Amino acid sequence: MTPILFWGLKAALFLLAVAMLCALARLLVGPTAQDRVIALDCLYINGMLMMLVLGIVYASSVYFEAAMLIALFGFVGSAAMAKFLLRGEVIE
């Protein structure tokens, strides 16, 4: 691994960690419930991107399945929470 790729991956991981901290701050601060829902949406997208970058760091393709599962269940969770905000119940 050349130094440019090494430091590029370090910088990307740092930026994604900053992004996840921003989303976490909005998740904790957020005045209304819908703010917390979009903060959680942003948080799982950033975590999925971090999984993809870690897959490059360790040169392993196992991380793609994890990233795919995070995307899948994150979408299901966000849709369920939006339904809950709209109706007050998830399954009626």
Q: Provide the strand spans (E) within the chain.
A: none
Classify each residue of 23-50 as buried b or exposed e, where b means 16 or more C-beta atoms within 10 Å of its C-beta. beebbeeeeeeeebbbbbbbbbbbbbbb
Q: Does 2 bind another protein (CB under 8 A)?
A: yes
One residue of 62, 64, 73, 90 binding another protein per CB under 8 A: 64
Residue type (1 letter), 32: T
One residue of 86, 89, 91, 92 binding another protein per CB under 8 A: 86
Site track 28-57 with another protein (rule: CB under 8 A), x = hit:
----xxxx-xxx-xx--xx-xx--xx-xx-
Q: Does 90 bind another protein (CB under 8 A)?
A: no
